[in-house]
Structures are given as C-alpha cells and as structure tokens.
Amino acid sequence: MSDFSDRELLEELGVEVATRTAAARTPREERIIAGFEDILKFVVEHGRAPQHGEDRDIFERLYAVRLDRIRAQADCRELVEPMDTHGLLAGGGVAEPSAEFVDDADLLADLGVAPAPEEDITQLRYVRSRQEIRAAEEIASRQRCEDFETFKPLFAAVKDDLAKGTREARRFGEDAAIKQGEFFILGGQIAYVAEVPEEFSTEHGHAQGRLRVIYDNGVEGNPLLRSMQRALYKDDGGRRITDPTAGPLFGHAREDADLESGTIYVLRSKSEHPEIAAHRDLIHKIGVTGGSVETRIANAALDATYLLAEVEVVATYKLFNINRTKLENLLHRVLAPAQLDLTIEDRFGNPVRPREWFLVPLHVIAEVVDKVRDGSIADFIYDPPTASLTKAPENTKKPGSPRSRG
C-alpha cells in the first residue's frame, strides 16, 4: 500500500481541510501592545505602577497617561488583558474613552510637553540617551531625609535672603564648581549640598564623586558631582544661589563660570530737532539689552523711543550674571534728575515722551559704570547743577541692588 500523507488520508475520508493563518494585528493593536509592554517593563524595574506628578520622570508620566487611556477603553483592556500579570487594569481609569488610541506625541501634548520638530529618518524619537537615563535614575533614587529638621532652618533663611535681595539666583555655568554648603535651584526646588566626599577623577579627567544633596521638599539624593553639574546647566531654571557676600556688581574681568547676559549701551541721537541739535553732545540714551546693540537700534529712525532718528553708539559695557531689568532701573534712578523733558510725535501723530534720554556728560556715565563695578552705585545720584555724582539721601536708596561681574 502506498504511503499517504495526513492531508491525503483526510481527503480520502471526505474531510475538507482548511488552512488557518494566524490573525494579523492591526497597526493600532501593535502600538497598544508595545505601549503596554513598556509599562510592564517599568513595573518590573520599579516595583510599582507608573504615577502622575510634575516631580516624576517624563517617561513615567507618559506611561501613567498611557495606562489611563488603556484602562478607559474596553477594546484596549481586552487586547492586553492576557499580558496583565501585575493587575494593572484593575485600577480605575481617569481618562475619557477615545475612539482612537493616541500615540506618544499626543501623550506628550497631554503632559504639556512640546514635541520636537520633525527630523529626518536617521533621528531617533522618544529614545532616551544614557545621560537622560542616568538623570532619571538620580531622581528616582531620592529618598526621605531623616534629619530634615536639621536643614529646615537653612532653607528658611535662604528664602528670606532671596526675598530681601541679600542673596541672588544666578544662571549656572557649564562645568562650574559645586562646593559643600552651597545652595542651588534645580527642577524648581532649592537644593543644599550637605556633603562633598573626597573626589576622584574619571578617565576623561573630570572631577567626580557622590554628593549628599538635601532638597527643600524634605528628600535627599546622592547624585554624582558631574551629573548634578550637567543637570543644573541643562535646566533652563537651574541657578546658583549666591552667598550673602557675593561681591560687587561687576569685577574687572570675566570669570570662567560667568555667562554673558547683556550690555549697557550709550547712544547719541542724530536728530535735527532744535533742542536735541543744540545739546547733542550732552543728550544720551542709556539702556541695557541682552542681545545685539546693532540689532536693537536697526530701525531707530522709525521708533519714537529713539527720537525718530538714526543714532550712534558712543559706549558699551559688557555684563555677566546680572539682572538686566534691575540694573536698567537703577541706572535710570541715579540719572533721573537729568531726564530729558521732551515730547515728540510718532509716525501717527501721537505724542510720545521718551524716558531713557538724559542730559548728562559721557564722563559721568563712565563714572556711574565704575561705581556699578565697585558696588557703591546705590549710594549716589546725579546732581545736574554740578554735573557730578553726589551722595543720595537715605530715603532715595533702594535695597537689593543687582549684583554681577563683567
């Protein structure tokens, strides 16, 4: 008897054989399953479900929103239920049901995070760099500070000093030093460096070592020195809180950790207005800008602030780590007695009184900058009759002068 295959035997018996193929997943289902697998990995790594909160890692927050969306949609729950070995679907959903499972870009939008602009195919999206992973691990490793009551008065004193202006929060410079006893602002929280152990160098020659950092919300962490430096530098709100004796407004040289933050500029008008032309060498506009002076004055002839005329730059002074608005207000207060009282019409015929022009000699402006450098400017005011700076009356002095170096 000839050999028959199983298929041939079934056909001899009159049994119809149907070929069954594995049900194909739709792209939407594949995305839901992949997203839930990420959540499961998080649970395995951290021993808990992802949670919401601004103090959480952005990826944890993304997973938390994703889990809410899955819980809130019956078809999603049914799809991943066989995978739910941790009972994650039992939690109550907080998201409204949606006809379409959203992708990571939509989830990030829910979190208020602007997505990166579309790049080419070689650009990886939503893939964390090693630096980002290390930063997330540092945050996750924070724990309750058992002796926080010891540090609590320090934070209260620093906040009081900031309010009084005896301390300032300055932008953190790349590779700037971190020392024991210093205060910083990181992630919106005040951080105190309680301990700096003996450092060692990495293979690249960078100082390294674990710090003990206490945060004003009662937790502490042990970040690597370089990790904290990097986090402070990359954080748009990262700041170093100065010592109460941080020094004068300006030094005479830029220091390595300083960041250029602006320029004092002194302008002279080319206007043919009779009053301006008669005192051209004495009338100066004084301001502070964070950008290019040339860019700022590019359209001077169309701007009533510049007296609707071209201007020339007669002096500039670089600033480092300074509050530009505070400094400009201070300069204008010192020179207020010499403010130019002039009203002109703008291009639409509306009366405008420019407020940043002063009848003051250039050498006096240079003297003002010198007193900004030595930190004594708050004690002086310009005296027009003598064309010089004089001691300001006590009731005109303002506390909390801006400090800087430049």
Task: Give the bridge partners for 220, in sequence order.
Answer: 143, 214
Q: How confident is the model at residue 267 (pLDDT cuts 50, 70, 90)?
A: very high
Residues 272, 299 within the same domain:
yes
Q: Give residues with Cβ within 8 angstroms of 40, minimum separation 6.
A: 83, 85, 86, 88
**Spatial distance between the Cα atoms of 167 and 300, rounded to a whole number of angstroms:** 37
Higher pLDDT, residue 193 or 370: 193
On whether residue 12 sits in a domain, the answer given is: no
The CATH number of the domain where 194 resides is what?
Answer: 2.30.30
Greater confidence (228 vs 6) lies with 228
Domain contains 277: yes
Q: With 60 as the cut, is the pLDDT of residue 71 above it?
A: yes
Q: Please give the Cα distance from 285 to 297 (Å, whole number).
A: 11
Residues 92 and 166 occupy one common structural domain: no
Sign of CA dihedral 34, 37, 42, 48: positive
| Nearest-angstrom CA–CA distance, 161 and 167 | 5
129 assigned to some structural domain: no
Are 157 and 275 found together in one domain? no
- Any idea which of 100-104, 157-161, 278-282, 288-292 has the lowest mean pLDDT? 100-104
More confident residue, 404 or 284: 284
pLDDT in tens, 7-41: 666 666 666 655 554 457 788 888 888 888 888 88
Q: Which of 116, 135, 167 is the last residue of a domain?
A: 116
Give CA–CA dist 8/6, Å, rounded.
Answer: 5
Query: What was the pLDDT predicted at 378?
Result: 80
Looking at the structure, do residues 283 and 368 belong to the same domain, yes or no? Answer: yes
C-alpha torsion sign, points 121, 126, 131, 134? negative
Which tokens sit at 35? Answer: 């997203």
pTM of the model: 0.38
In a domain, 7, yes or no: no
Quick: pLDDT tens for 384-401.
988 889 987 754 444 444
Same domain? 237 vs 270: no
Tokens standing for 43? 């649970």
Higher confidence at residue 40 or residue 378? 40
- Note whether 298 and 344 are within 8 A (CB): no
Nearest CA-CA partner of 283 in 354, 334, 352, 351: 354
Q: Dump strand ranges (E) for 222-354.
A: 239-241, 260-269, 283-289, 311-320, 344-345, 351-352
Answer yes or no: are the C-beta atoms of 171 and 184 closer than 8 Å: no
172 within a domain of the structure (yes/no): yes
- Pull the structure tokens for residue 393: 């009356």
Structure-token pair, residue 315: 């002096």
Question: Is a pLDDT exceeding 80 seen at residue 110?
Answer: no
pLDDT at residue 174, rounded to an integer: 54
Query: Do 268 and 338 fall into the same domain?
Result: yes
Domain region containing 319: 260-396
pLDDT at residue 233, as a whole number:
83
Question: Is there a single domain that holds both residue 220 and residue 288?
Answer: no
What pLDDT was estimated at residue 96?
41
The answer, yes or no, to whether residue 318 has pLDDT greater than 70, is yes
Question: pLDDT band at residue 122, thresholds of 50, 70 and 90?
Answer: very low
* Claim to verify: residue 112 and residue 235 sit in the same structural domain: no
Order of all β-strands in the sheet with 260-269: 311-320, 260-269, 283-289, 357-359
- For residues 231 and 274, membership in a common domain is answered with no
| Listed range (164-178, 184-198, 211-225) with the worst mean pLDDT | 164-178
Whether 130 shows a pLDDT value over 60: the answer reads no
- Give CA–CA dist 51/70, Å, rounded: 15
308 belongs to a structural domain: yes
Do 53 and 93 fall into the same domain? yes
Check whether residue 307 and residue 385 sit in a common domain. yes
Distance between CA atoms of residues 73 and 232, nearest Å: 40
The answer to whether position 187 is within a domain reads yes
At 49, the amino acid letter reads A
- Range in 83-92, 248-257, 278-287, 381-390 the model is least confident about: 248-257
42 neighbors 65 (Cβ within 8 angstroms): no
pLDDT digits (tens, 9 = 90+) for 290-306: 778 888 888 888 888 88
* Structural domains in the chain (count): 3
Residue 131, pLDDT above cutoff 60: no
| Per-residue confidence (pLDDT) for residue 5, from 0 to 100 | 65
Regarding whether 266 and 169 lie in a shared domain, the answer is no
Q: Does 80 fall in a domain?
A: yes
CB 393 within 8 A of CB 378: no
Domain boundary pick from 96, 116, 136: 116
Percent of the chain with pLDDT over 70: 69
Beta-carbon contacts of residue 208 (< 8 Å; ≥ 6 apart) = 199, 200, 201, 202, 224, 225, 226
Higher pLDDT, 380 or 200: 380
Look at residues 75, 101, 116 and tell me which one is the last residue of a structural domain. 116
